[in-house]
Amino acid sequence: MIPESLLTRIQTVYPKHAAVIEAGLQVRRFVTLRVNRIKLSSEAFAEILMQRKVSFERIAYDRDAFLLRDVREDAVMQMPEYADGALYMQSLSSMLPPLFLAPQAGENILDMTAAPGSKTTQLYALSLGKALITACERDAGRFERLKYNLEKQGATRVNALRTDALQLSDFLRFDKILLDAPCTGTGTIEEGSRVRFSEEYLAKCVKLQKKLIEKALRLLKGGGSLVYSTCSILPEENGEVLRHAEKLGGKIVSVTAPADVPQLPAMDGSICVCPNERYEGFFLAKLTK
């Protein structure tokens, strides 16, 4: 059930798209997953699925991504490949930020709010384990989950720190930074999910997001890349935070969504994904300084 206050806000912000958004937040999404190329090739996994007669779809813009049509999460969790860390269940929207950050061997990369490790392990896999990744998580329980997923996925060279990224020394510098910011999660609502939303919670999230992007710009090398993302469709957490970053010297690097990704109106150069049965609602932007 979508809270009435959120429905009203969606109708105000997206008057021409409100019905589509509401429908997209009330469906049950397909199971999507990412093959961990450190442990298994996507071609080999496709062969495995065909042998098991599992209906699947490859995602054109991401060779590691699969959509499974007729199975749910529990069936994936019973696959031996999942137990071995060769698979990671992850939404297609969540896979976008690491793709746009495009980690390369030898780059010094920071994941500022890393737990549970979805994007951290994806960054590691995309670089074939050759990027130098630092992953921060301040919450003790979530940090343990991060460490578990790093180990299971074979991301052995990630420097996992149980710390608030805001406490990192300003003398540090990174080639690339991923800031997948804590948010209201308004894009992740789906059939049967519990929804937490209030104006107070939104204001708290925005305050933290602005602090984090300020810190990210201080830690980013000149000419480096920063990807900012949220699983929210609300402009306060997205465009407003970007405008704050611009005032501090951040420069928007225009990005274009892959052809199949459904979109909502967003700040020029950024991507706001419209929720549907394939995608969570999501926001992504790239900056440099």
Q: Return the HEC string of 192-230.
A: CCCCCCCHHHHHHHHHHHHHHHHHHHHHEEEEEEEEEEE
| Average pLDDT, integer, range 36-58 | 97
Distances (CA, A) of 86 to 7, 60, 153: 39, 20, 7
The predicted pLDDT at position 244 comes to 98
What gap in Å lies between CA 138 and CA 40, rounded to an integer? 31
What are 6-21's pLDDT values in tens digits?
Answer: 999 999 999 999 999 9
pLDDT in tens, 179-237: 999 999 999 999 888 888 999 999 999 999 999 999 999 999 999 999 999 999 999 99
Q: Would you place residue 167 in the very low, low, confident or very high pLDDT band (cuts 50, 70, 90)?
A: very high
* Orientation of helix 199-219 relative to helix 239-247, angle to 10°: 40
Chain segment 57-93, per-residue pLDDT in tens = 999 999 999 999 999 999 999 999 999 999 999 999 9
Q: Is 231 a catalytic residue?
A: yes
Helix axes 118-126, 140-152, angle to 10 degrees: 30
Over residues 126-159, the pLDDT tens digits come to 999 999 999 999 999 999 999 999 999 999 999 9
pLDDT of residue 196: 82
Residue 1: the pLDDT is: 77
The answer to whether the beta carbons of residues 234 and 265 sit under 8 Å apart is no
What pLDDT was estimated at residue 199? 93
pLDDT score at 194: 80
Of the candidates 136, 183, 205, 231, the residue annotated as catalytic is: 231
Q: Is the pLDDT of residue 288 over 80?
A: yes
Phi, psi (rounded to 5 degrees) for 278: -105, -35
Q: Mind listing the domains of the chain with CATH numbers?
A: 4-27+92-288 (3.40.50.150), 31-89 (3.30.70.1170)
pTM over 0.95: yes
Does pLDDT of 168 surpass 80?
Answer: yes
